Amino acid sequence: MKTFDIPTFYRSPIIGRVKNVRKTDDPRKKDFSPTILDFGNVSIVLARHFGFCYGVENAIEISYKALAENPGKRIHLLSQMIHNQAVNADLQDRGIRFLMDTYGNELMPFDALTKEDIVIIPAFGTTVEMEKRITDLGIEVQRYNTTCPFVEKVWKRSSALGKNDHTIVIHGKPKHEETRATFSHAKENGAAIVVENMADTELLAAYISGKRPLSSFNEDFKGRTSEGFDPAIHLTKIGVVNQTTMLASDTQGIADFLKNVMLDKYGEGKIKLHFADTRDTLCYATNDNQQATIGLLEEGADMALVVGGYNSSNTSHLVELCEEKMPTYFIQSEEEVLSMSEIRHFDIHSKEVVQHVGFLPETEKPKIVVTSGASCPDSIVDRVIQRILEFYPGSKAIDEVLATFEKREAN
């Protein structure tokens, strides 16, 4: 796989060494068991896969390349390049301005842009309409287009479905940039509809099976269907794609559920005429990170720290997985660990930042999971580990623990 030129301050002396050893031992990524670093009076449990994925590294490389190649020019990002506050803040500190927020609201007037300006398309991609709007201003958008290749893969699959008269069912968060972009591209070639979860899917199934009157369809799916969507026509032949950062198991569950609905309606002999197999739209990195999280949960621990941007979809899903097994805290950086007893973290259910007292386990030798989302630099994870070790005086030195780990894995 391609390697990327990433600024050194995103790289990590701790996590980097662990990942290099695991990569050497398991180049085909078949082993999802975690790494356990034993510091004597506390153990840190690391998922087999976490942190920057291919698409994020690609976007970071292109963004910093744009800065290096265009001194003195005005450089803009269409919206947040990825959902990580540290990365976006650094780009802004270097002079890049954001044109929109994550919901598509303009932060500066597009009328102020000129054909001499540079506009970077973020890793989530953008809508067909927005790309045309920028191009019409005379700005070349493909030069610094950082759209993740796996997002583009979903677009290509959607296009193929639409051209074969399938309606594209998109599993994603309706307001998320990637879902908005995928919906825009999908509806260029066919009918499209967005479902966020299984509840939406069950509602959609009620229309497919005829258990719910079509007269209420437009109200139930308002703002989430392509123009001219007719449930009487467009729900007879479907295929499922996804926002790549959703839980892979959830997407597959939705696809399997809808396939069974179509089987009940049309029968086994005609299922291929009414339902398309779209398993190939699941992002490998999202799936690897989620499988690795499941692997570390099987190992067991006393608590988990999940590091990433609060608006990061893939990170929030890692939090969901960890919450099922242990106390879990979603933090942006080591700065959220306020003291030995107090932590500030994001509650994914209330969507609020809250503070919690007494978060560290009271066991004699706790096992603490530390992992991160696909848009979080490993250097931040390093600092979180170092922060936790501050609360365990007498713990073994980091270099000693890493050397022991490397020696053990080499034997």
Which residue in 57, 178, 196, 336 is the catalytic one?
Answer: 178
Distance of alpha carbon 309 from alpha carbon 16, whole angstroms: 21
Within 8 A by CB and 6+ apart from 213, the residues are none
Nearest Cα neighbor of 88 from 73, 72, 69, 107 is: 107
Distance of alpha carbon 292 from alpha carbon 269, whole angstroms: 38
Residues 154 and 169: beta-carbon distance below 8 Å = no
**Burial track 239-274 (b if 16+ CB lie within 10 A, e otherwise):** bbbbbbbbbbebbbebbebbbebbeebbeeeeeeeb
First to last CA, the chain: 27
Nearest Cα neighbor of 120 from 84, 159, 155, 88 is: 88
Within 10 Å of residue 41's Cβ, how many Cβ atoms?
14
Q: Is 227 known to be catalytic?
A: no
Within 8 A by CB and 6+ apart from 24, the residues are none
Residues 43 and 370: beta-carbon distance below 8 Å = no
Q: Which residue has the tokens 């994603």?
A: 172
Structure tokens at 306: 């999940």
Q: Which residues are catalytic?
A: 178
